[in-house]
Chains A and B, each alone.
Chain A
Amino acid sequence: MTGELAAVIRDLRTAVGAQRVLTDPLQCRTYECDGLTHFRVSPAVVVLAECTDHVRATLRICSAHRVPYVARGSGTGLSGGALPVADGVLLVLSRMREIVELDIDNQRAVVEPGVINLSVTRAVASQGYFYAPDPSSQQVCSIGGNVAENSGGAHCLKYGFTTHHVTGAVVVLPDGSLVHLGGKVIESPGYDLLGAFVGSEGTLGVATEVTLRLVRRPEHIQTLLAGFRSVTDAAGTVSDIIAAGVLPAAVEMMDRLAIEAAEAATHCGYPPGADSILVVEVDGSAAEVAAHFADVRRIADARGAFEIRVAADDAERALIWKGRKSAFAAVGRISPNYLVQDGVIPRTALPDVLREIGRISADCGVRVANVFHAGDGNLHPLVLYDDAVAGETDRAMEANGRILDLCIAYGGSVTGEHGVGADKVAYMGRQFTPEDLDTMQRVRCAFDPAGVSNPGKVFPTPRLCGEAPGARSGVHPLQEAGLAAVF
């Protein structure tokens, strides 16, 4: 252990209490990974924060000693965003789990970062409200992690992402100072730093209190499950729904392999023999839902759906969703190991991209199950492999990389909702130019000039914050360049 680290541990024990500072390697190992389990690093120190003061003290101490820290909520992230630094501090926020205030009249909830996503909806459901972002892990993932990752979910097609549902945050900056960004009001004078903070993957500081928008529960919800003989028909149905001017709350798609896995795990009873299924949910006023839902049915029929099931009640709706929401874990039933991806493509490229994923799967000799948010082109290909078979892990990694390259080639993104984290750092330079990434890091330098906050995530190369801006040249008169007339 370095001298700096020993000093950090001593200071932390004094500041937050020895019982909240873990250094026993066995205890620390509990935090060695998040939901991306093939990246593991045991942190040197774990701090179990219980209040904003604990967070401030931890960050102040880390900054003073130039020791990196990584913040973590429930640890369900799928990109290694909460992967610890070996010689650093892991700051656990899951003990900060109080719902501070429910202000239904202002349609806001104020919560601590460790509050579980679904708890917010549960707390306000009886008053006719819900918290809209619904990542599949919503029963366990925390709001702080959602803010860090700008989490989405099946219903973000209509309702937007975490960034659209956070109006305020109390943020501890990496030097331990505190800033209040936004509040219950929808806008405040100045730069929208809250907008930059949401989705910054823990690289700009730690939110210790978050103000969320609460949304009125729709009057009516209708959900259908449609089985198709081909992926092309299902994808065509999605395009036609959008072209018809319908904006469903959710449009989800699964292919044959994903259906097989979900069936094995949850007995969700999806249509037997389906090559792909679509789950379409429409919500809104009764008249609106009736009309749009009829459109969706008609389109699915015209595109050759061989079976259409409509959920008659909440229980049937839950069953339809059960298969979809448990799909990631379910592939564990049909494969010893798997990689989850999160690429995004323009929706209209769906049939082409699926064909190419099929080709990549065949080339690499690994199976790929496809589960995705079809409405917004967010793919979750699951690359299945067995690490006990020689060379198969490498082939799975190759398929994985080729799928991400495919998304970039089609003008999409390497991540729609899981974040860049540690997992996709290497791909950032393919999606963005060095200038793009350098410019983003100007924000980083404003928040975290010392670079102690979750280093090594998001950006492949850190920017040196003390750098002077590019070489200063003398002022050239505009008229000399022929660009302007003087008047």
Chain B
Amino acid sequence: MSLPGSAVAAAVRPDSIAEVVDVLRHTRPASVLPRGAGTKLDWGAVGAPIEVDLDLRGLAGIVEYNPGDLVVRAMAGTPLDVVQADLAEHGQFLALDPPEAGATLGGIVAAGASGPRRHRYGTARDLLIGVAAVLADGTVARAGGKVVKNVAGYDLMKIYTGSFGTLGVIVETTWRLHPRPPDRRVVTFAGHDGALVRRLMHSALTPTAVEALGEALVVVFEGLTPAVRAQADAAARLGEGVVTTTVPAGFGVRPWLPDGIGLKIAYEITGLDVVLAALRRLPGTRVVGRVGVGVLEAGLPAIDRDQLDRLRAVVARVGGTVVVLAAPEETKRRLDVWGPVGDALPLMRRVKDQFDPEHRLAPGRFVGGI
């Protein structure tokens, strides 16, 4: 995939943290785009031209894995599916399921990418317990550690997650793991609305995913066989649910086409019907999302500035925001892809200035032109 806004002068593929440091030191003040497998390079704003394409796939492999501690430390360029294969041998997994095949750990962190299991386990924000990053000036800095419970120092894992590479080059990640559930039941409702989601949320059921998939609602239970069986049967009775053992086609897949528009909409959980009604007014919209936590993704063939503004106004009424994640470059140039950020934007700029005073890391791709 080509880099948006690209006028790439050089592609670099370091094999070690020391080489990443060298690259950053020797290319100052050239602009740098840290990246993994490049599965989400079209996310975010177009940004300024990139002079150094910093490919981190050479930093690959599990560094430390002691199954008894339910923790794994791996280089940032390691693909998630490679890590999962190793963990599966020990009956464990990293509870992240973004759908992009081949995506690396570092890219998932930088883009804050997640999937259906977010309902139960959260995102990279909630599972990343340690990180090493190389800052724009070549400083190697770690935060967190390799124990799940740790409040020593600032939690930089949180601000790197979803920072789109603008604060530092993530080179190593340490994760909390979970036991791999032995069995699964899937309850599919043909239609859904806020009332069904509400009944589900206020029940004592403990699904791992509550997922809108077009007009359907898919509720996933993972765990011991008798437990998931009992829960799925109870869930099915909340509406006219059908119980199966496999998820339907398209489950958790981003709902946009390669040349289409991909939106991410966060809203207060009870605002579902309001958001869905607004989306249905846009022709050709497909919706997928985590309705139990209040995050929807929408794919549509096109959107103009007025339509986006109107959608944002509606979503704001239920406390939410609309981000244009994916879109053709020329469309992105016409839109405010991140939308209003609120009164913390000046503070975010100060954080950026502290970490990357020359604004050379992924310049212009983040909120407010950061």
A residues lining the B interface (CB < 8 Å)? 104-108, 128, 149-150, 152, 156, 160-161, 163-164, 173, 178-181, 183-196, 198-200, 216-219, 239, 242-243, 245-247, 284-288, 290-292, 344-348, 373, 376-378, 411-420, 424, 428, 431-433, 435-440, 442-447, 458, 468-470, 472-473, 475-481, 483-487
Q: Which residue of B lies closest to A472 (CB)?
A: B28
Q: Could you say which residues of chain A place their CB within 8 Å of the CB of B182?
A: 245
Distance between Cα atoms of A469 and B29 in the complex (Å): 13
A185–B266 contact, CB under 8 A? yes
With A183-B319, A285-B227 already in contact, the answer to whether A483 and B12 are too (CB < 8 A) is yes
Across the interface, A440 reaches (CB within 8 A) one of B68, B122, B156, B227, namely: B156
B residues less than 8 Å from A436 (CB atoms): 141-143, 153
Chain B: residues with CB nearer than 8 A to chain A?
9-12, 14, 19, 22-23, 25-30, 52, 66-71, 91, 112, 122-123, 125-126, 133, 135, 137-143, 145-159, 161-163, 167, 178-180, 182, 198, 201-206, 223-224, 226-227, 229-231, 266-270, 293-295, 319-321, 323, 338-339, 341-345, 347-348, 350-351, 353-355, 357-358, 366-368
Cβ contacts under 8 Å, B138 to chain A: 470
A180 to B29, CA, bound (A): 33
Chain A: minimal CB distance from B207 (Å): 11
Closest A residue to B139 by CB, please name it: A435
B129 to chain A, nearest CB (A): 10
- Which residues in A have their C-beta under 8 angstroms from that of B135? 439
Q: Indicate whether A192 sits within 8 Å of B354 (C-beta atoms), given known contacts A179-B343, A481-B26.
A: no
What are 18 A-B interface contacts by the 8 Å CB criterion?
A: A149-B151, A180-B342, A181-B344, A183-B319, A185-B266, A186-B266, A287-B227, A291-B224, A428-B152, A428-B153, A431-B152, A436-B143, A438-B139, A440-B153, A444-B154, A478-B12, A483-B12, A484-B23
Known contacts A183-B319, A285-B205; A189/B338 CB under 8 A: yes
Complex: A8 Cα to B148 Cα, angstroms: 42
CB distance from B198 to the nearest CB of A (A): 7
Knowing A180-B343, A346-B71 are in contact, say whether A487-B11 is a contact too (CB < 8 A). Answer: yes
- Residue of A196, A288, A345 touching B154 (CB-CB under 8 A): A196
- Cβ-defined contact, B151 with A417, below 8 A: yes
Smallest CB gap from B90: residue in A: A243
Q: 5 tightest A-B contacts by CB?
A: A195-B158, A439-B141, A245-B179, A288-B227, A219-B204
7 further contact pairs, Cβ within 8 A, besides A218-B204, A346-B147: A104-B202, A187-B266, A346-B66, A416-B147, A416-B149, A439-B135, A440-B154
| Bound CA–CA A444/B155 (angstroms) | 12
A377 cross-chain contacts in B, Cβ below 8 A: 69, 147-149
Which residues in B have their C-beta under 8 angstroms from that of A128? 202, 204
Nearest-Cβ distance from residue B221 to partner chain A, whole angstroms: 9
**Nearest-neighbor residue (CB-CB) of A378 within chain B:** B149
Inter-chain CA distance A196–B162, complex, in Å, is 13
Do A483 and B147 form a contact, CB below 8 Å, given A189-B323, A247-B179? no
Q: Complex Cα distance A82/B59, Å? A: 42
Which residues in A have their C-beta under 8 angstroms from that of B294?
185-186
A479 to B26, CA, bound (A): 10
Tell whether, in the assembled complex, residue A443 and residue B154 are in contact, meaning their CB atoms are under 8 Å apart. Answer: yes
Nearest A residue to B223 via CB reads A288
CA distance A105 to B194 in the complex (A): 11
User: Does the CB pair A458–B153 fall under 8 Å?
Assistant: yes
Please give the distance in Å from A81's CB to the nearest CB on chain B: 10
B14 adjacent to A192 (CB under 8 Å): no
Bound form: Cα–Cα A105–B267 in Å: 13
**Which of B11, B69, B156, B162 touches A346 (beta carbons < 8 Å)?**
B69
Bound-state CA distance A454–B57 (Å) is 41
Across the interface, which residues of B come within 8 angstroms of A473, CB to CB?
Answer: 25, 28
Is the beta-carbon distance between B320 and A185 smaller than 8 angstroms? yes
Q: Kindly identify which residue among B151, B268, B348, B354 contacts A416, using a CB–CB cutoff of 8 Å.
A: B151
B11 in contact with A376 (CB, 8 Å): no
Inside 8 A of A480's CB, which chain B residues have their CB? 26
Does B68 contact A445, Cβ atoms closer than 8 Å? Answer: no
Cβ distance B337 to chain A, nearest Cβ, rounded Å = 9
Roughly how many angstroms separate A200 CA and B152 CA in the complex, as a whole number? 9
Contact A150 B14 (CB under 8 A): no
- How long is the Cα–Cα vector from A153 to B1 in the complex, in angstroms? 46
Instruction: Tell me whether A411 and B147 are in contact (CB under 8 A).
Output: yes
Contact between B27 and A476, CB atoms less than 8 A apart: yes
Given contacts A185-B321, A193-B348, A239-B68, contact A106 B146 (CB under 8 A): no
For A378, the chain B residues whose CB sits under 8 A away are 149
Please name the residue on chain A nearest to B357 by beta carbon: A469
Q: Are B149 and A376 in contact (CB under 8 A)?
A: yes
A188 contacts B52, CB within 8 Å?
A: no
Q: How far is the CA of A216 from the CA of B210 in the complex (A)?
A: 15
Q: Which of A196, A416, A432, A478 contacts B155 (CB 8 A)?
A: A196
